[in-house]
Amino acid sequence: MGTPIIEFKNFSYYYPNTEEPAIKQIHATIEEGDFVGLIGPNKAGKSTACLSMIGIAPHILGGDWMGDVVVNHETIQSSNVSDFTKIVGVVFQDAESQFTQETVEDEIAFAMCNMGFERSEMIKRVNEVAISCNLTEFLERSPFQLSGGQQQRLAVACLLALRPKVIILDESTSQLDPKGRDEVFKLVKELHRQGRTIIMVDHNIEKMAEYTTKLMVFFEGELKLYGPTSEILQQKELLNDYHIRLPQVTDAAYGLKETYQFTKLPINLEEASRTFKEYRGQENGSNYSNQESCP
């Protein structure tokens, strides 16, 4: 077991003027260094769960809640959003709407300036995160002149400058073209490699299978499944019940499960290539043995 960084303790949340909870009795622990994907159909509770991890629900949105959320050992009952933002940063779907400054450099420095950082420290951190997010050549450019993928990288850079332990991306690739989407996933993969805890909502199940270490499956406000990605994606029937499809390579292997007697389905292209090559080799070896035994 790793060190818990975010804990849901039978947490339910009701938006203002609603009778049904948006999420109900969520009980789960996210550990430092995890890369957790949140999957499920629209209105399943994924975004509400993310808002709860940073205290926006309920402190800013209002509403009622039961249970608790613990972030780095502090509960939402005893803390406020400003306390949580020191630990958790979030990038929303429309990064452009979050920008207010004339240049990329000023945008990265903006939050640090408001928090009273020394100028030398701000310059140091701006340069560090610009390198990490591959934005060095754009520092003097307007954020509104960047491509969608570059804007999402800038939004992440603004968070990284504050050095949070946890980065949440809530459908931050949904409006991007394949190139922009790949830029964001490449960045978060590197941040995870460096030890950051990543929490990501995304509908691209192939990318979720390739990059995440754990999956949370939400359906109708409930956390139905939570565990290692490779284990969750073995459960086709359950996932179908929750309106989630398997990655294409996993679904193809599932169709051949009886023929090849797979003990574990591959969840990405690399695993599929290795798995089918192994079973093809076994099949060819068996055929060769049969041929040799013929009179």
Q: In tens digits, what is the pLDDT along the chain, a chain of 295 residues? A: 689 999 999 999 999 999 999 999 999 999 999 999 999 999 999 999 999 999 999 999 999 999 999 999 999 888 888 888 889 999 888 888 889 999 999 999 999 999 899 999 999 999 999 998 999 999 999 999 999 999 999 999 999 999 999 999 999 888 888 888 898 899 899 999 999 999 999 999 999 999 999 999 999 999 999 999 999 999 999 999 999 999 999 999 998 887 878 788 999 988 988 887 877 666 555 554 444 544 4
Strands 35-39 and 197-201: parallel
Domain ranges for the chain: 247-289
Q: Which residue has the tokens 């292209």?
A: 269
Select from 267, 149, 157 the least CA-distant residue to 214. 267
pTM, whole model, 2 decimals? 0.88
C-alpha to C-alpha distance for 174 and 153, rounded to whole angstroms: 14
How far is the C-alpha of 167 from the C-alpha of 192, rounded, in Å? 10
